[in-house]
Structure 1
Amino acid sequence: MLALVIDTSSAAVTAGVAEVASGVAPRVLAQQVIIDARAHGERLAPSIQASLAEAGVRFPDLAAVVAGTGPGPFTGLRVGLVTAAAIGDATGLPTYGACSLDAIAAVHADCADLLVAGDARRKEVYWARYRHGIRTAGPEVTKPAELSTEAAAMAGAGARLYSDVLGLPLLEEDYPPVAGLAAVAAERVLNRAPGEPLTPLYLRRPDAVAPGERRQVTA
C-alpha cells in the first residue's frame, strides 16, 4: 500500500511516497527534502508533485496521506497539515497524523534509550525519550541545559545544535524522515483505519497574536 508522506514541522520541507507492507519496514519510493525554514508554503506543493512523479504514481494509486503533526513552530507546521487535509478532502484519501519526533525515533528502534530533540528556536528544544522506538516521556519544550541527559544516544536538529550542552553520542536524522513517518502510521494504513483530524502539536503559543481592543483616547 502506498502513502503520501508530508512533514513541515522543522526547517526541512519534506514530501515523499512510501510503500507500507506487513512485517517489514516501509520502503521509500521517492522523497524530496529541502532545508528552508522560511519557505514551507512555496516549497511543499512542488515537492509533493516531484515525489509523485519520481515514484511514478498518481493520487488514485495512494492508500493514505501521512503528515507530521509536530511539535513545531506555528506557521511552518500549519502549512503541512493544511495541505495534507486538503489533499485528503479532495481525493477521499484517509489522513493520519504522526508525531514528528516519533518519526526520528522510529528509524533508531534498535536504540534502547534515545533522546530526540528538535530545534524549537528561542534557545529551546522540543524533546521526547524513547526505548526501542517507543516513547517513554514527552514531547515537551525546554532549554537544553535543563534537560536530563540520562540516555544512550541522541538525534534530531536540536540535539546537533546543542550537542556540546547535551553531550551524548549523536545519531543521524536531524529531521523527521519519510520512512519514519510512514512507520509511525503503518498500522493504520494497513488496517485501512478511518481518517483522523490532523491536530498540530504546538506545545507553546505562537509568536503572532491578535491585536487587542483599541483604547479610546480622550482629550
Structure 2
Amino acid sequence: MLVLVLDTSTPAVTAAIADVASGVSVLASRVTVDGRAHGELLAPAVSAVLDQAGAGPSDLAAVVAGVGPGPFTGLRVGLVTAVAMTQALGIPAYGVCSLDGLGRGTSGRVLVATDARRKEVYWAVYADGTRVEGPGVAKPADLSVSVDRAVGDGALRYADVLGLPVDEEPRYPSPAALAARAARRVRMKAPGEALTPLYLRRPDAVIPGERKPALR
C-alpha cells in the first residue's frame, strides 16, 4: 500500500513515497530546506519521488500530510497540495501532527521544538515517543517542561536559551515517522479526514481595516 507523504510545516519541503502494507518502508524521499520556496519546490518533489519509486499517482492508496503546527504560508502549500491530489485521485487523506515526525522513536522525555519565527517555537513533549504535552507555541525562555533533552530545528536555534542538551538529528519531521503515525488508518481503509491546519496563532498577514481619514 503506497502512500504519498507531504510536510511543509518547517523550512524543510518534504515529499516521500512509503509502503505501509506491513511495517513502514520509505521507497523514495526528497527533503529540500528552503523556507521561502515551498510553493516552487513541492510539486517537483512529488514528481521526483514518484519517479524514483517507480510509481504513478494511480498507485497511491492515500496521502499522509503533516498538519503543523507551522507558519501559515508554508503549511498551507502542503495541505492544499494534499487536498488537491486526494480529490483528483479519489483517495483518502490522513493528517498527522508534524511534531510527531520528530518525536516518534525518541526515548525518555524529550522536548520537540521547531522554529515558529517571531523568536518563538512550536513545541511538544514526548515520553518514549508518545506525545504527552502540546502542541503549543511559546518563547523559548517561557517554556517550563521536565525533559531530558531536546530535538528539532527550533531547539537547535535556541539551545542557549533552553539550557538543555540538544540532539543534532532529527532536525525536521521524518517522512518515515509521519507515515508510521498514519499507517494503521491506511491499512484499515479508515475514512479520509479533513486536513485541519494547526496554526496555533493568527497569520502575519491580515486583511487591512477600514482606512481612517487623515484629517478630521
| TM bucket, shorter chain | over 0.9
Residues 76-119 of structure 1: CA deviation (Å, up to 9, x unaligned): 000000000000000011001010001111132xx121110010
Shift of 1:134: 1.2
Q: Distance in 2 between matches of 1:18 and 1:152?
A: 31
SS at match of 2:100: helix
Instruction: Select the residue among 62, 75, 96 that pairs with 2:94.
Output: 96
Residue equivalent to 2:185:
188
Unaligned runs of 5+ in 1: none
**CA positional deviation for 1:212:** 1.0
Query: 135, 147, 153: which one pairs with 2:149?
Result: 153
- After superposition, residues 23-42 of structure 1 pair within 5 angstroms as 24=23, 26-42=24-40
Deviation per residue, 1:114-161 (Å, 9 max, x gap)? 110010011110000011211111101001111125211211100111
The partner residue of 1:144 within 126, 140, 148 is 140
Aligned length, in residue pairs: 215
Alpha-carbon distance, 1:214 to partner: 3.3
One-letter identity of the residue aligned with 2:3: A
Aligned mates of 2:129, 2:75 — CA distance in 1? 23
| Aligned position for 1:177 | 174
Could you tell me which amino acid in structure 2 is paired with residue 42 of structure 1?
A: E
* Residues in 2 aligned to 1:56 and 1:28: alpha-carbon distance in whole angstroms: 13
Q: Which residue type is aligned with residue 28 of structure 1?
A: V
Tell me by how many angstroms 1:21 deviates.
Answer: 3.3
- Tell me the distance in 1 between the aligned counterparts of 2:183 and 2:69: 20
Deviates more, 1:179-188 or 1:160-169: 160-169
How many Å apart are 1:190 and its aligned residue?
Answer: 1.1
Equivalence for 1:135:
131
Aligned residue for 2:17?
17
Q: TM-score, normalised by structure 1?
A: 0.94
Match 2:57 to one of 56, 59, 76: 59
Unaligned runs of 5+ in 2: none
Distance in 2 between the 1:217 and 1:166 partners?
46
Matched, 1:126 2:103: no
1:218 Cα deviation from its structure 2 partner: 6.8
- AA aligned to 1:159 is A
Instruction: Determine which of 36, 48, 51 is the counterpart of 1:50.
Output: 48
* Whole-angstrom CA distance in 2 between matches of 1:218 and 1:154: 54
Which is worse superposed, 159-168 or 80-89?
159-168
What is the alpha-carbon root mean square deviation over aligned residues?
Answer: 1.4
Q: Is the 8 A contact 2:105 2:128 kept in 1?
A: no
Determine which of 72, 80, 83 is the counterpart of 1:82: 80
1:149/1:168 contact within 8 Å kept = no
Q: Percent identity?
A: 60
**Contact 1:107/1:179 (8 A) holds in 2:** no
SS at match of 1:100: coil
The normalised TM-score by structure 2 is 0.95
User: Which residue is equivalent to 1:115?
Assistant: 111
